[in-house]
């Protein structure tokens, strides 16, 4: 990957959505909603405070995160669809 996010931005790859319901019904791609979960691929250095000090991000590469349906900006890199979003757009880190 050739993207290095700046400041408090992160690069997220959406996780694949289930294409089958619990009862076994297949959902076609055009009817399925985009998932609101993803994995962080890269993070920026952090946001600067009023004194110019960098505040590091609370997330790290490899974290599985939840985000809003319309969060981030979609970009294509090497055929992959990725999201660039601010850390504040992330609602939660999925714990195992």
pTM (2 d.p.)? 0.76
CA distance linking residue 11 with residue 41, whole number of Å: 5
Backbone conformation region of residue 36, classed left if phi is above 0, alpha if psi is from -120 to 50, else beta? alpha
Q: First vs last Cα of the chain: how many Å apart?
A: 26
pLDDT, tens digit, 9 for 90 and up, residues 56-96: 999 999 999 999 888 889 999 888 889 999 999 999 999 87
What percentage of the chain exceeds 70 in pLDDT? 80
Please give the pLDDT value at position 69. Answer: 84
Task: In whole angstroms, give the CA distance from residue 19 to residue 57.
Answer: 33
């Amino acid at each position: 990957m050739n993207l290095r996010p700046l400041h408090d931005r992160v690069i997220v790859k959406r996780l694949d959505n289930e294409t089958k319901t619990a009862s076994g019904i297949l959902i076609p791609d055009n009817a399925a909603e985009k998932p609101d979960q993803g994995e962080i691929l890269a993070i920026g250095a952090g946001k600067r405070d009023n004194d110019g000090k960098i505040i590091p991000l609370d997330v790290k590469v490899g974290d599985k995160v939840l985000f809003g349906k319309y969060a981030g900006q979609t970009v294509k890199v090497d055929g992959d669809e990725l999201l660039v979003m601010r850390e504040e757009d992330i609602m939660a880190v999925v714990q195992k």
